[in-house]
Amino acid sequence: MGSKYTDLRKIILSIILFMFLSVTCFPSYLASDYYADLEIVVDNSGFVTISGVTNHPDLIAENTELYTSKKQSFWLLNITKNEIFSKFVFTLTLPKNSEINYVKSSGSVIIGEELGSLVCKGFGENESLSLLVQYKTQKTIEEEGLFGFDTFTLILLVCIIFLIVLFVIVLIFVDKQKKPTSIQKTENGKEINLRGLNDRQKKIIKLLIERKRALTQMEIQRELNIPKAAVSRNIHGLELKGLIEKEQVGMSNLIRLKKP
């Protein structure tokens, strides 16, 4: 009877030991299922080529967009396989002159540079394969242009600035055309500076230039519709400034531009 119990205990212990070994050793058996030694190359357009040696059915690929995506100016490379690999080694080569924002990887990873390209080298054992890299390509950096603007926005801004400058120049030119000049020329080419004259004095000078002859005060008063006293006062002012000369003829005064 005792020997039967002993045999039963041995059987139970054997079953428990087998179950324990199965639980503890199963992951290592599973881990030995997959391995990978990979060369991963990404081009400027986000196409990925994976070559090398592996027994995983979904890893080897050529010119695929399956592992990359783009958000705004950043590219994201995501190669994730949840199966356990007994061992994996990879070398990732990004496009030339790229900039890495961050790298997340299972196992260990080292970032370096080879021939102008950023290179990430990683390895791991008995774990899943996971590689996430956020980066910018040189093409993306150039598209952003100066001060974070892309090329189209920069061209648009330059065009707007050019149109504004052109508009200001036209306004200045038109304003100058409309603005009356302070210099008047007589028939013989003499220049008379009207600066500092009041409105009625300017009208008297312009009238004398247009008529090209001496006028009486009465004619000036009638032509410009200015009161007699105002005509006399402004003629006196012009005479003091040396712009006109007055000649008395009978009961009238002849007014003419002062000769040079």
pLDDT value, residue 42: 95
pLDDT value, residue 32: 52
pLDDT value, residue 238: 86
32-143 classified as CATH 2.40.240: no
Per-chain mean pLDDT for the chain? 82
- What residue spans define the domains of the chain? 32-143, 145-178, 183-257
What is the distance between the alpha carbons of residues 74 and 140, in angstroms, rounded to a whole number?
8
Residue ranges of the chain with pLDDT lower than 70? 1-10, 18-32, 139-152, 175-189, 260
Q: Which CATH class is domain 183-257?
A: mainly alpha
Q: Which of 260, 231, 254, 255 is nearest to 244 (CA)?
A: 255
30 in Cβ contact with 126 (< 8 Å): no
